[in-house]
Amino acid sequence: MPSRPTNAARATWRSLLLGAVSVVLAGGCGSKAGISDPMKLVPADSRVLVQINVARLRQTQFKDRLLQLRDRSEGLKKKWDHLVQKSGLDPLRDIDTLLLAMPYQGEQGSGEAAVVALGRFNQPAIVAWFKEAAGAKFQETKHGNRTIYSNSAGQNLSFVSSTTAVVGDLTQVKRILDLADGKGQSARQSPKLVELTNRVQGNQTVRGVVSVPDEVSKRAKEADSPFKAVSAIVATIDFAAGLEFDFRAECSDENEAKSLTDKFNNLVKELLESPMLGSLGLGGIISELKGAQELKVFRVRGNLPQQKLDELIKKIEEAFKAKLGDLPRIKLPSVEEGGPKIDDSQPAPDKTAPDVTTDDKASEGKGDEPKAAPGEGSDGMPSLKLNLPGGTKGKRRPSLLGQ
């Protein structure tokens, strides 16, 4: 039976994920040396690409807000400092670009992902940190001239160079290392992905594109999903002066684009009539969201000045502080239950739907090593496996593209 990880191991891994996820996902700026275009390192059959321009984020006031939120939590600040001390990696300082790539592997397969990170990496220190966090389950595997470092949770780490790191599913990590050696076809050689990414103009903080698989579109139509006619999605977010976002969904024809636009605008109207939204003081922000039809494209754009963005962050933070002790438990139901819902009654655990809350009592009497949190592997580390809608094994999870 595998031993449980130490609290220090949990803390370092969660800190890295926090730094990466808080900051990671889209846009054009690469490292000063080595590979500057991460699309050349991800496979051509990728269906989802999300890239974060961390270098651009570093220059915005939003970065300062993130650091303020981090520093207000003693535990979170401690974890971050532990990560920096052990691995030598400060995500906000040392990472320039992150590119998440996800393929689609069919009805019974899983859409597993990998992230390419461009920046400056102290490989020996990061490997030592990863080894300490993995414990006895740490493994080293040779792939060509490079080494892949793995743990029992299925997380894999490797380096193309001192300026390019890869983390994710083993198969995807191997494919990325092969692409670095000139083997295989990259996303830069996929006409569809190139065409979608070229629709993004400028140097936004976050950009993402989705090329919807035909199989997913078919199931969406069978389920009569609102997104049944969507064939591609392009989205961007920027924090240069507040918050600016742009979401575009390409539909099969103009009628479908109009239908999706009408449904979105009706949803906004319903939200504005929600008492909860009014109590949070978010009505003025939501009212600025208007869907528009542009030929075959459903589009939503928004722009919050820095002052309004600061007010939004403050209101959300205050709302969580005020309600933290009374928040109902959230669970992930089965498809038959109709999607995510709030469970105020807190019945016995639903075996068909994993509970995303933790049970502190379960760890009583077992020292200072609590059980793995939801989303973590058996060794207490978060799983990096991600799934496209409809790509999970067994029962399919509810999705906007259809159940």
Counting the structural domains of the chain, the total is 3
In a domain, 317, yes or no: yes
291 is written with which tokens?
Answer: 């869907």
Neighbours of 116 (CB within 10 A): 27
> Phi-psi category of 390—alpha, beta or left, where left has phi over 0 and alpha has psi -120 to 50?
left
**Whether the Cβ atoms of residue 117 and residue 165 lie closer than 8 Å to each other:** yes
Whole-angstrom Cα distance, residue 35 to residue 87? 22
- For residue 398, tell me if it sits in a domain: no
Residue with tokens 């990863």: 130
Burial profile 167-195: b = 16 or more Cβ within 10 angstroms, e = fewer: bbbbebbbbbbebbeeeeebbbebeebee
The pLDDT assigned to 191 comes to 95
Q: Provide the pLDDT confidence category of residue 279 given band limits of 50, 70 and 90.
A: low
Which residues form the domain of 346?
Answer: 330-357
What pLDDT is recorded for position 274? 81
Q: Above 70 in pLDDT, residue 338? A: no
**What mean pLDDT is predicted for residues 310-319?**
74
pLDDT one-digit tens code per residue, 212-263: 998 888 888 888 888 889 999 999 999 888 888 999 999 999 999 999 999 9
Q: Say what the pLDDT of residue 248 is.
A: 95
Q: Does residue 227 belong to any structural domain of this protein?
A: yes
Domain match, 223 and 304 both: yes
Of the candidates 126, 49, 54, 116, the one whose C-alpha atom is nearest the C-alpha of residue 86 is 126
**353 & 365 share domain:** no
Give the predicted TM-score (pTM) of the model: 0.69
Q: Which two tokens stand for residue 212?
A: 């919807």
Report residue 342 as tokens: 């709030």
DSSP 113-139: -EEEEEE---HHHHHHHHHHHHGGG-E
Lookup result for tokens 């030598």 = 88
Task: For residues 131-160, give the mean pLDDT.
Answer: 93
**Are 87 and 14 in a shared domain?**
yes
272 and 241 assigned to the same domain: yes
Residue 93 pLDDT > 50, yes or no?
Answer: yes
User: Can you say how many angstroms the Cα of residue 333 is from the centroid of all Cα atoms in its chain?
Assistant: 21
- Quick one: pLDDT band at residue 14, thresholds 50, 70, 90? very low
Give CA–CA dist 263/268, Å, rounded. 9
Residue 23: both structure tokens together:
């900051």
Specify whether 41 is located in the same domain as 179: yes
Q: How many residues does the chain have?
A: 403
Residue 187 and residue 95 share a domain: yes
Residues 6+ positions from 28 with CB-CB distance below 8 Å: 51, 53, 97, 203
Same domain, residue pair 68 and 134? yes
Return left, alpha or beta for 60; rule: phi > 0 is left, psi -120 to 50 is alpha, else beta.
beta
- Using the predicted structure, report yes or no on whether residue 185 has a pLDDT greater than 70: yes
Residues ≥6 apart with Cβ < 8 Å to 351:
none
Q: Is the pLDDT of residue 18 over 50?
A: no
Q: What is the pLDDT of residue 284?
A: 72
What does the mean pLDDT of the chain come to? 75
For residues 180 and 396, the model is more confident at: 180
Confidence of residue 278 (pLDDT cuts 50, 70, 90): low
pLDDT tens figures, 42-92: 999 999 999 999 999 999 888 888 888 888 878 888 888 988 999 999 999
Judged by phi (left if over 0) then psi (alpha if -120 to 50, else beta), residue 361 lies in: alpha
The per-residue pLDDT for 251 is 95
Do 39 and 167 sit in the same domain of this protein? Answer: yes
Give the end of a domain, one of 327, 348, 379: 327
